[in-house]
A and B are shown apart, each in its own frame.
Chain A
Amino acid sequence: MMSTSSRVQLPAGKNVAVKLGRDDWAMRGFIALIAIYLIIALAFPLYAMLSKAFSTFHVDLSQYEFQVSDESGNFNTESITAQALNENTKIYEEADLSTGSGGRLSVTKFFPDFSFRSPVMYKVRGVDTNAVFLVGSERHTGPDWLELDSNTFRRVVLRPVASTGLGNFSHYFETPALVRSIKNSLWISAISTLITVSLAFGFAYALSRSCMRFKGVFRLIAMAPILVPSLLPGIALIYLFGNQGMLKAMMMGESIYGPYGIIAGSVFFTFPHAMLIITTALAISDARLYEASESLGASSWKTFWTVTIPGARYGLISAAFVVFNLVITDFGLPKVIGGQFNMLAVDIYKQVIGQQNFEMGAVVSVVLLIPAMFAFSIDRLVQRKQVALLSSRSVVYQPKKNSRFDKVCFAYCLVIAIFIVGILAVCQFAALIKFWPYDLSLSLVNYSFDLMDGGGWGAYQNSIKLALLTAFFGTIVVFVGAYMVEKTQGFKTGRSLFQFLAMLPMAIPGMVLGLAYIFFFNNPSNPFNFIYGTMTILVLCTVTHFYTVSHLTAVTALKQMDDEFESVSSSLKKPFYKLFYRVSVPVCMPAILDISIYLFVNAMTTVSAVVFLYSSGTSLASIAVLNMDDAGDVAPAAAMGMMIFYTNVAARLVHAIVSKGLLKRTQVWRAR
Chain B
Amino acid sequence: MVDVSKQDQTFLKISELWKSFGNFVALQDISLEVNEGEFVCFLGPSGCGKTTLLRAIAGLDVQSRGEIEQGSKDISSLPPAERDYGIVFQSYALFPNLSINKNIAYGLENAGQSKAEINARVEELLSLVGLPDQGKKYPAQLSGGQQQRIALARAIATEPGLLLLDEPLSALDAKVRVSLRHQIKELQRKLGVTTIMVTHDQEEALSMADRIVVMNQGVIEQIGTPIEIYRDPKTLFVADFIGEMNQIFATVSSHNTISFGSKLLECIPHGFETNAQVIATIRPEDIIPQGENEQTSAATNISENSLEVAIHDMEFLGSYWRAELTSVDNGDATLNANFSMNAVRRMNLEIGKSLRIEIPADRLKVFSRNELVH
Q: Are A568 and B89 in contact (CB under 8 A)?
A: yes
Query: What residues of chain A lie closer than 8 Å to B78, measured between beta carbons?
Result: 19
B143: min CB distance to chain A, Å: 11
Per-position 1/0 for B149-187, Cβ under 8 A of A = 000001101101000000000000000000000000000
> Within the complex, which residue of A16, A562, A569 is in contact with B63, where a contact is CB–CB below 8 Å?
A16
> Within the complex, which residue of A1, A16, A562 is in contact with B64, where a contact is CB–CB below 8 Å?
A16
B193: min CB distance to chain A, Å: 14
Q: Are B81 and A668 in contact (CB under 8 A)?
A: no
Per-position 1/0 for A554-581, Cβ under 8 A of B = 0000000010110111111111001000
A21 on interface, CB distance cutoff 8 Å? yes
Q: Are A562 and B93 in contact (CB under 8 A)?
A: yes
How far is it, in angstroms, between the C-alpha of A567 and the C-alpha of B79 when the chains are bound? 11
Given A567-B58, A668-B138, does the pair A20, B79 have CB atoms closer than 8 Å?
A: yes
How far is it, in angstroms, between the C-alpha of A163 and the C-alpha of B246 when the chains are bound? 83
A176 on interface, CB distance cutoff 8 Å? no
Q: Are B62 and A672 in contact (CB under 8 A)?
A: no
- Tier of interface size on chain B: 35 or more
Q: Are A587 and B97 in contact (CB under 8 A)?
A: yes
> Within the complex, which residue of A5, A22, A574, A669 is in contact with B96, where a contact is CB–CB below 8 Å?
A669
A448 on interface, CB distance cutoff 8 Å? no
Per-position 1/0 for A238-268, Cβ under 8 A of B = 0000000000000000000000000000000
Q: Are B93 and A16 in contact (CB under 8 A)?
A: no
Query: What residues of chain B lie closer than 8 Å to A19, measured between beta carbons?
Result: 77-79, 82
Interface of B is mostly: loop
B25 on interface, CB distance cutoff 8 Å? yes
Given A24-B79, A567-B89, does the pair A10, B25 have CB atoms closer than 8 Å?
A: yes
In the complex, chain B residues 80-103 whose Cβ is within 8 Å of any chain A Cβ: 80-83, 85-87, 89, 91, 93, 95-98
Q: Are A16 and B65 in contact (CB under 8 A)?
A: yes
B141: min CB distance to chain A, Å: 6
In the complex, chain A residues 557-613 whose Cβ is within 8 Å of any chain B Cβ: 562, 564-565, 567-575, 578, 582-583, 586-587
Stretch at the interface among B16-24, B30-38, B121-129, B361-369: B16-24
Query: What residues of chain A lie closer than 8 Å to B2, measured between beta carbons?
Result: none
B139 on interface, CB distance cutoff 8 Å? yes
> Within the complex, which residue of B24, B79, B85, B93 is in contact with A565, where a contact is CB–CB below 8 Å?
B93
A527 on interface, CB distance cutoff 8 Å? no
Q: Which of B91, B93, B95, B157 has the most CB of A within 10 A?
A: B95
Given A6-B23, A568-B89, A572-B154, does the pair A18, B139 have CB atoms closer than 8 Å?
A: no
Q: Are B107 and A573 in contact (CB under 8 A)?
A: yes
A526 on interface, CB distance cutoff 8 Å? no
Q: Are B141 and A568 in contact (CB under 8 A)?
A: no
B332: min CB distance to chain A, Å: 25
Name the residue of chain A whose CB is nearest to the CB of B79: A21
B320 on interface, CB distance cutoff 8 Å? no
B347 on interface, CB distance cutoff 8 Å? no
> Within the complex, which residue of B18, B86, B98 is in contact with A11, where a contact is CB–CB below 8 Å?
B18
How far is it, in angstroms, between the C-alpha of A412 and the C-alpha of B75 when the chains are bound? 69
> Within the complex, which residue of A565, A570, A575, A671 is in contact with B95, where a contact is CB–CB below 8 Å?
A565
Query: What residues of chain B lie closer than 8 Å to A22, measured between beta carbons?
Result: 81
Given A565-B95, A582-B98, does the pair A571, B155 have CB atoms closer than 8 Å?
A: yes
Q: Are B65 and A13 in contact (CB under 8 A)?
A: yes
Given A570-B79, A669-B139, A671-B140, does the pair A5, B217 have CB atoms closer than 8 Å?
A: yes
Query: What residues of chain B lie closer than 8 Å to A117, measured between beta carbons?
Result: none
How far is it, in angstroms, between the C-alpha of A276 and the C-alpha of B79 when the chains are bound? 44
How far is it, in angstroms, between the C-alpha of A22 and the C-alpha of B76 when the chains are bound? 17
Given A23-B81, A669-B140, does the pair A583, B97 have CB atoms closer than 8 Å?
A: yes
Q: Are B91 and A562 in contact (CB under 8 A)?
A: yes
Query: What residues of chain B lie closer than 8 Å to A88, measured between beta carbons?
Result: none
How far is it, in angstroms, between the C-alpha of A14 and the C-alpha of B106 when the chains are bound? 37
Q: Are A570 and B81 in contact (CB under 8 A)?
A: yes
Name the residue of chain B whose CB is nearest to the CB of A20: B79
How far is it, in angstroms, between the C-alpha of A9 and the C-alpha of B218 when the chains are bound? 12
A571: min CB distance to chain B, Å: 5
B334 on interface, CB distance cutoff 8 Å? no
B66 on interface, CB distance cutoff 8 Å? yes
> Within the complex, which residue of B83, B140, B154 is in contact with A670, where a contact is CB–CB below 8 Å?
B140
How far is it, in angstroms, between the C-alpha of A8 and the C-alpha of B28 when the chains are bound? 8
What number of A residues sit within 8 Å (CB to CB) of B? 43
B60 on interface, CB distance cutoff 8 Å? yes
A15 on interface, CB distance cutoff 8 Å? yes
A666 on interface, CB distance cutoff 8 Å? yes
Query: What residues of chain A lie closer than 8 Å to B217, measured between beta carbons?
Result: 1-2, 5
Q: Are B138 and A669 in contact (CB under 8 A)?
A: yes
> Within the complex, which residue of A11, A564, A587 is in contact with B93, where a contact is CB–CB below 8 Å?
A564
A561: min CB distance to chain B, Å: 9
Q: Are B25 and A672 in contact (CB under 8 A)?
A: no
A17 on interface, CB distance cutoff 8 Å? yes
Name the residue of chain B whose CB is nearest to the CB of A14: B65
Q: Are B60 and A18 in contact (CB under 8 A)?
A: no
Q: Are B93 and A18 in contact (CB under 8 A)?
A: no
Q: Are B79 and A18 in contact (CB under 8 A)?
A: yes
Q: Are B65 and A586 in contact (CB under 8 A)?
A: no
Q: Are B79 and A572 in contact (CB under 8 A)?
A: no
How far is it, in angstroms, between the C-alpha of A194 and the C-alpha of B25 when the chains are bound? 52
Query: What residues of chain A lie closer than 8 Å to B77, measured between beta carbons?
Result: 16-19
Query: What residues of chain A lie closer than 8 Å to B64, measured between beta carbons?
Result: 10, 15-16
How far is it, in angstroms, between the C-alpha of A641 and the C-alpha of B89 when the chains are bound? 54
Q: Are B138 and A8 in contact (CB under 8 A)?
A: no
Name the residue of chain A whose CB is nearest to the CB of B77: A19
Given A16-B64, A21-B80, A573-B158, does the pair A564, B89 have CB atoms closer than 8 Å?
A: yes
A664: min CB distance to chain B, Å: 14
Given A669-B138, A669-B140, does the pair A567, B80 have CB atoms closer than 8 Å?
A: yes
Name the residue of chain A whose CB is nearest to the CB of B25: A8
Query: What residues of chain B lie closer than 8 Å to A21, measured between beta carbons?
Result: 79-82
How far is it, in angstroms, between the C-alpha of A622 and the C-alpha of B294 when the chains are bound? 102
Per-position 1/0 for A627-671, Cβ under 8 A of B = 000000000000000000000000000000000000000101111
How far is it, in angstroms, between the C-alpha of A670 and the C-alpha of B96 when the chains are bound? 8
Name the residue of chain B whose CB is nearest to the CB of A25: B79
Query: What residues of chain A lie closer than 8 Å to B62, measured between beta carbons?
Result: 16, 18
> Within the complex, which residue of A16, A562, A668 is in contact with B66, where a contact is CB–CB below 8 Å?
A16
Q: Which of B58, B80, B98 has the most CB of A within 10 A?
A: B80
Q: Are B138 and A671 in contact (CB under 8 A)?
A: yes
How far is it, in angstroms, between the C-alpha of A21 and the C-alpha of B60 when the chains are bound? 12
Name the residue of chain A whose CB is nearest to the CB of B49: A5
How far is it, in angstroms, between the C-alpha of A574 and the C-alpha of B102 when the chains are bound? 14
Q: Are B107 and A583 in contact (CB under 8 A)?
A: no
B109: min CB distance to chain A, Å: 8
How far is it, in angstroms, between the C-alpha of A215 and the C-alpha of B77 when the chains are bound? 59
In the complex, chain A residues 1-50 whose Cβ is within 8 Å of any chain B Cβ: 1-2, 5-6, 8-11, 13, 15-24
> Within the complex, which residue of A564, A574, A668, A671 is in contact with B107, where a contact is CB–CB below 8 Å?
A574
How far is it, in angstroms, between the C-alpha of A575 and the C-alpha of B140 when the chains are bound? 25
Query: What residues of chain B lie closer than 8 Å to A570, measured between beta carbons?
Result: 79-81
Name the residue of chain B whose CB is nearest to the CB of A583: B95
How far is it, in angstroms, between the C-alpha of A669 and the C-alpha of B100 when the chains are bound? 11
Query: What residues of chain B lie closer than 8 Å to A17, measured between beta carbons?
Result: 77
Given A16-B62, A16-B76, A671-B141, does the pair A568, B93 have CB atoms closer than 8 Å?
A: yes
Q: Are B66 and A571 in contact (CB under 8 A)?
A: no
Name the residue of chain A whose CB is nearest to the CB of B80: A570
With A18-B59, A19-B78 given, name 12 new contacts (CB 8 A): A5-B218, A6-B25, A16-B65, A19-B77, A21-B79, A21-B80, A568-B87, A571-B86, A574-B81, A582-B98, A669-B97, A670-B96
29 contacts between A and B (CB under 8 A): A5-B25, A5-B28, A5-B217, A6-B23, A6-B24, A8-B25, A11-B18, A16-B62, A16-B65, A16-B77, A18-B62, A18-B79, A20-B79, A21-B79, A21-B81, A24-B79, A565-B95, A567-B89, A568-B87, A570-B79, A572-B154, A573-B81, A575-B81, A578-B110, A582-B95, A583-B97, A669-B97, A669-B138, A671-B141
A-B pairs, top 6 by smallest CB distance, nearest first, are: A21-B79, A572-B107, A564-B93, A669-B138, A570-B80, A672-B140
